[in-house]
Chain A
Amino acid sequence: MTTPALDSTIRRQPTRRNVELLLLVFAWGIGLLGTLQVGWAIGREPDTGLWVTSGVVGLLALVTHLIVRFRAPYADPIMLPVATLLTILGLVMIYRIDVAAARRAELNGNPLPTPDVYSQLTWFTVAVILFCAVLILLRDHRVLQRYTYTLGLLGLVLLVLPLAPVIGTTVNGATLWIRIGGLSFQPAEMAKILLTIFFAGYLVEKRDSLALVRTKVLGLGLPRLKDLGPLVVAWLVSLGVLIFERDLGTSLLFFGLFVAMLYIATQRRSWLVIGGVLFLGGAVLAYYLFGHVRLRVMVWLDPWTYATDEGYQIVQSLFGLANGGILGAGIGQGFPNLVPFANTDFIVAALGEELGVTGLIALLLLYAILIERGLRTAISVRDPFGQLIAAGLSITLALQVFVIVGGVTRLIPLTGLTTPFLSYGGSSLIANWIIVALLLRISDRARRPAATTIAPDEALTQVVRRV
């Protein structure tokens, strides 16, 4: 070991916090421009409400930056601005769809609907508070390993909570909401974080036995039968979510996440194959057992036949995308409100219509950057628990984006999932900001110069890892 003084001079890492600040200002500017464009498109001069809203958003962005600057100074400088930009784009689009809904109500002589943008802004505020709370309270992500099973249990409870009497609520056929008082919440969003942490802790503990190979079939090492247990449990839970909550997307997300993390922890491809077989089996089973799954697939294969009923959403989404073309109709100049749920599940269709394929690809690349930075964090952090959490959270994000964007653009059958950061809805926004906080915490740990931080016990851990 080198002496701390020498080490810090050689390995001093730039924190790049100023880059982050600059990118945040840029993200805020894009949001302001987008908001002004909505106003211009409908011929309304910017009013005080607009400036106040933009100011609040800027303030929130500044708060997140300051917290990171002081509590996680070595964290990745790109992730926070990207998440902020995505959230801001969501706010602009939700505002824009509010405007369209108001205009339609006005033309039809109906009472004006309540705008969603202000409640989304409130959720953003709550998300930022929780983001700060995580970074302040959680000084080291490894603390979480102690609560592996508690968090796992909590995650499972949250997952099945919508099935509970009184508070559980069914919306549009899917039982994934709970309603307490006037507030409704999608507990699955929180559950995905808790279960990722649980998977990480569990796999760190058990990965050696899970990696054991007993028999080889077709060149593929198969795990011991008794080690299949956790995978089968995850599979059953996923099927349970699908059957009892009728939530295809969440079910897909959890199972995919668990299989991917299992693979990362054990480096055994056999888990992927077994996972794939279980997934296909589950999918076929679901197809034959459940009418709503069958219907989704049929609509996916031929939406035009169902254009006026079950396929209406997806067909309108495709029409919207087509209307956008290469450069888009322009913000405020398309008809995104023709797609039902334009500001939640179908917000990507709305963005694709008004920003075109150009904007949509830019949006997908923003997600790609965020996920890539997450995976990079997973690779660079030294403890396996942190690696698994970072990788798991990034994969959750990636799968969720793929499943919902793929569904809305008819690449795969449509399953209801929120679009991370963009969709209107508090649970999703809060959960995703907590994910960002966790990733930044781990990234801070990964990028921090070793010499200045190594505590005696930590040095030991490192030695162990380098063997």
Chain B
Amino acid sequence: MNRPIRRIGLVLGVLLIALIANVTIIQVVLAGDYRERPGNQRVLLEEYDRERGPILVGTNPVARSEETGNSLRFLRVYDNGQLYAPVTGFYSLIYGATGLERTENRVLTGKSPLFVVDRAEQLFAGREPRGGAVTTTINARAQRVAFSGLEGKRGAVVAIEPATGRILASVQSPSFDPNILSSHDPEAIREYYAALEADPAKPLLNRPIVALNPPGSTFKVVTAAAALASGRFTPDSVIPGPRSYNLPNSIKKIRNWNGQACGPDGLVTLREALAISCNTAFAWLGNELGDEALRTQAQAMGFDESFEIPLRASTSRFPEDPDEPQTAMSAIGQFDVRATALQMAMVAAAVGNNGRLMEPYLVQEVRGPDLAILKTTEPTEFAQSMTPLDAVQLTEMLVNVVDSGTGSNARIPGVKVAGKTGTAQTGNDNPAVAWFIAFAPAQSPEVAVAVVVEDAGAAEVSGNQLAAPIARDVMEAVLR
């Protein structure tokens, strides 16, 4: 009878293998899929069951977890919700998470591989898992000043430390209150979310890094950099700056904002053209340099590249294949040139940091549940976007813009400020977009900033009037 017993043993062995294969498929291969299925409360319960780590600005938590005593044990609280919303994002039962809440989820829930020691301890001691903390690069004062500067307007501010790429401020207006979206009341969450979605001002949009606008005259900084890089121009080169510039192969003309020629006999130096934001001179320059040179310079400063800071920023664009009139328009930041506030702050930072553009980043440190530092972000170079000599010359030209040109409102007593105004048309009858990009102190900048105000007036002065004062306040806040 032994043979049939052995055979049955064999069959049972096959059944065992089937069971093992099946549980392996479920728990290893399909697990991720099952976890994301609707109706799976475990993932949610698990996340709400453990103390989620805080998001810190300095040592101050801007997002933290509070014990509630009901079945969703922890509630996410944002003490200055509107102010930090573009940084923290929200953490919602219904709509998931955004911002650092999403990108740093594994740290905040304590599931990051960085916590392997802590996890091992939990495994053996069975201790309750806790999340790690994320320290941002944000400068609280700059953030606050930028936020109050944008009050009542529609726009965004990004400030960067040029030497490292640390993002010192990332502000938007209008903003939203992440506390409501992160509450445990589904009805309130849905209602508020629907209202935010319906708002034409799009408060849920992460304006500083996602909203794309034509950069207008602030893009002349890129064009000027390309001109210096070509070796054919210096700040003192005299170039044509007539009342109007006939676009090649077209009946259209580009005019200066005040309808005047930029200098006597329609001639102007490159330095002066930048100072008074001469459209015709830069349109001419664009065609002289060609779209290839402009694109190369723009890309060296971060255009056509997507950045994860670790929030995903929109890719700023330089047009792919513009004809000559389009190249001329692009050289003054019109046509299809589109940039985020982050991108234009990077342009300013690149010039200020002797042409060396650093990767922008928002997370300074990751800390364990015991607040020990587990990871510090090391600054990394994105590109040497200009030669240091060109950068020094361009800086000097930009100081001139603030000292005796269109950027007068950005002056800070006792500090040399380099800056550039911009006003962009976004369509025939659409209101213009006002820009200001700057860095200070000009020689060794501690801060570079880009301010964008949508819905601005039509005049070129609006960059100086609306955006420059905010940029100045933010820079002062960092320098003080």
Residues of chain A having any CB pair with chain B under 8 Å? 36-41, 43, 104, 107-108, 260, 263-265, 267, 304, 307-308, 315, 318-327, 329-335, 338, 352, 356-357, 360-361, 364, 368, 371-372, 375, 378-379, 384, 387-388, 391, 395, 398, 402, 405-406, 409-411
Chain A residues, Cβ within 8 Å of B42: 319-320, 323, 334-335, 338
Determine whether the beta carbon of A37 is less than 8 Å from that of B126: yes
Determine whether the beta carbon of B40 is less than 8 Å from that of A361: no
Determine whether the beta carbon of A323 is less than 8 Å from that of B20: no
Q: How far is the CA of A104 from the CA of B3 in the complex (A)?
A: 53
Q: How far is the CA of A338 from the CA of B41 in the complex (A)?
A: 9
Determine whether the beta carbon of A264 is less than 8 Å from that of B30: no
Q: Given A368-B16, A379-B5, is A322 in contact with B27 using a C-beta cutoff of 8 Å? A: yes
Determine whether the beta carbon of A411 is less than 8 Å from that of B122: no
Determine whether the beta carbon of B16 is less than 8 Å from that of A260: no
| Chain A CB within 8 A of B232 CB | no
Chain B residues, Cβ within 8 Å of A324: 27, 31
Determine whether the beta carbon of A398 is less than 8 Å from that of B12: yes
User: Which 6 residue pairs of A and B lie closest in terms of their CB atoms, listed nearest first?
Assistant: A322-B34, A40-B126, A357-B27, A37-B126, A322-B31, A41-B126
| Chain A CB within 8 A of B28 CB | yes
Q: Which of A37, A263, A338 is close to B8, meaning CB atoms less than 8 Å apart?
A: A263
Interface residues of B in 8-56 (CB under 8 A from A): 8-9, 12-13, 15-16, 18-20, 22-24, 26-28, 30-35, 37, 39-43, 45-46
The prevalent SS among residues of B at the interface is: helix
| Chain A CB within 8 A of B251 CB | no
Interface residues of B in 99-154 (CB under 8 A from A): 122-123, 125-129
Determine whether the beta carbon of A265 is less than 8 Å from that of B27: no
Q: How far is the CA of A308 from the CA of B37 in the complex (A)?
A: 13
Q: How far is the CA of A311 from the CA of B13 in the complex (A)?
A: 29
Q: Given A360-B27, A368-B16, is A335 in contact with B46 using a C-beta cutoff of 8 Å? A: yes
| Chain A CB within 8 A of B2 CB | yes
Interface centre among B19, B23, B28, B127 (most CB of A within 10 A): B23
Determine whether the beta carbon of A326 is less than 8 Å from that of B22: no
Determine whether the beta carbon of B8 is less than 8 Å from that of A264: yes
Chain B residue nearest in CB terms to A353 = B42
| Chain A CB within 8 A of B6 CB | yes
Q: How far is the CA of A169 from the CA of B30 in the complex (A)?
A: 39
Determine whether the beta carbon of A361 is less than 8 Å from that of B23: yes
Determine whether the beta carbon of A267 is less than 8 Å from that of B26: no
Residues of chain B having any CB pair with chain A under 8 Å? 1-6, 8-9, 12-13, 15-16, 18-20, 22-24, 26-28, 30-35, 37, 39-43, 45-46, 69-71, 122-123, 125-129
Q: Which of A304, A333, A384, A405 is close to B19, meaning CB atoms less than 8 Å apart?
A: A405
Chain A residues, Cβ within 8 Å of B31: 321-325
> How near does chain B come to A332, taking the closest CB pair, in angstroms?
6
Chain B residues, Cβ within 8 Å of A38: 126
Q: How far is the CA of A99 from the CA of B20 in the complex (A)?
A: 29
Chain B residue nearest in CB terms to A271 = B4
Determine whether the beta carbon of B26 is less than 8 Å from that of A409: yes
Chain B residues, Cβ within 8 Å of A108: 71
Determine whether the beta carbon of A321 is less than 8 Å from that of B27: yes
Chain B residues, Cβ within 8 Å of A378: 5
Chain A residues, Cβ within 8 Å of B40: 319, 322
Determine whether the beta carbon of A395 is less than 8 Å from that of B3: no
Q: How far is the CA of A256 from the CA of B188 in the complex (A)?
A: 57
Chain B residue nearest in CB terms to A379 = B2
Chain B residues, Cβ within 8 Å of A384: 1
Determine whether the beta carbon of A357 is less than 8 Å from that of B5: no
Q: How far is the CA of A387 from the CA of B69 in the complex (A)?
A: 60
Determine whether the beta carbon of B1 is less than 8 Å from that of A375: no
Q: How far is the CA of A260 from the CA of B30 in the complex (A)?
A: 34
Determine whether the beta carbon of B126 is less than 8 Å from that of A331: yes
Q: Which of B8, B26, B34, B45 is close to A391, meaning CB atoms less than 8 Å apart?
A: B8
Q: How far is the CA of A329 from the CA of B27 in the complex (A)?
A: 12
Q: Which of B24, B35, B41 is close to A322, meaning CB atoms less than 8 Å apart?
A: B35
Chain A residues, Cβ within 8 Å of B26: 318, 321-322, 357, 409-410
Determine whether the beta carbon of B23 is less than 8 Å from that of A402: no
Chain B residues, Cβ within 8 Å of A338: 41-42, 45
Q: How far is the CA of A299 from the CA of B16 in the complex (A)?
A: 23
> How near does chain A come to B2, taking the closest CB pair, in angstroms?
5
Determine whether the beta carbon of A333 is less than 8 Å from that of B71: no
Determine whether the beta carbon of A307 is less than 8 Å from that of B39: yes
Chain A residues, Cβ within 8 Å of B126: 36-41, 330-333
Total A-B contacts with CB atoms under 8 angstroms apart: 144
> How near does chain B come to A124, taking the closest CB pair, in angstroms?
24
Chain B residue nearest in CB terms to A103 = B71
> How near does chain A come to B472, taking the closest CB pair, in angstroms?
53
> How near does chain A come to B127, taking the closest CB pair, in angstroms?
6
> How near does chain B come to A8, taking the closest CB pair, in angstroms?
26
> How near does chain B come to A273, taking the closest CB pair, in angstroms?
14
Chain B residues, Cβ within 8 Å of A308: 39
Determine whether the beta carbon of B19 is less than 8 Å from that of A402: yes
Q: Given A330-B123, A338-B42, A364-B16, is A409 in contact with B22 using a C-beta cutoff of 8 Å? A: yes
- Given known contacts A327-B123, A364-B16, A409-B19, what 20 new A-B pairs fall within 8 Å (CB)? A38-B126, A107-B70, A264-B8, A265-B1, A318-B34, A319-B42, A322-B33, A322-B34, A323-B31, A357-B27, A361-B23, A379-B5, A384-B1, A391-B1, A391-B8, A395-B8, A395-B12, A402-B16, A406-B15, A411-B18
Chain B residues, Cβ within 8 Å of A260: 8
Determine whether the beta carbon of B23 is less than 8 Å from that of A357: yes
Determine whether the beta carbon of B23 is less than 8 Å from that of A352: yes
> How near does chain A come to B38, taking the closest CB pair, in angstroms?
9
Q: How far is the CA of A318 from the CA of B29 in the complex (A)?
A: 12
Determine whether the beta carbon of B129 is less than 8 Å from that of A333: yes
Interface centre among A37, A322, A364 (most CB of B within 10 A): A322
> How near does chain A come to B426, taking the closest CB pair, in angstroms?
47
Q: Given A372-B9, A395-B12, is A406 in contact with B2 using a C-beta cutoff of 8 Å? A: no
Chain B residue nearest in CB terms to A395 = B8
Chain A residues, Cβ within 8 Å of B6: 375, 379
Q: How far is the CA of A371 from the CA of B19 in the complex (A)?
A: 15
Chain A residue nearest in CB terms to B6 = A379
Chain B residues, Cβ within 8 Å of A398: 12, 15
Chain A residues, Cβ within 8 Å of B46: 323, 329, 335
Q: How far is the CA of A330 from the CA of B50 in the complex (A)?
A: 14
Determine whether the beta carbon of A371 is less than 8 Å from that of B5: no
Selected A-B contacts with CB under 8 Å, 24 pairs: A40-B127, A41-B128, A108-B71, A264-B8, A319-B35, A319-B41, A321-B23, A322-B30, A323-B35, A323-B43, A323-B46, A324-B31, A325-B27, A326-B28, A331-B126, A333-B126, A352-B23, A361-B20, A361-B23, A391-B8, A402-B12, A406-B19, A406-B22, A410-B26
Determine whether the beta carbon of A267 is less than 8 Å from that of B4: yes
Chain B residues, Cβ within 8 Å of A330: 122-123, 126
Determine whether the beta carbon of B23 is less than 8 Å from that of A319: no
Q: How far is the CA of A307 from the CA of B40 in the complex (A)?
A: 10
Chain B residues, Cβ within 8 Å of A410: 22, 26
Q: How far is the CA of A324 from the CA of B126 in the complex (A)?
A: 15
Chain B residue nearest in CB terms to A411 = B22
Chain B residue nearest in CB terms to A356 = B27
Chain A residues, Cβ within 8 Å of B1: 264-265, 267, 384, 387-388, 391
Determine whether the beta carbon of B2 is less than 8 Å from that of A304: no
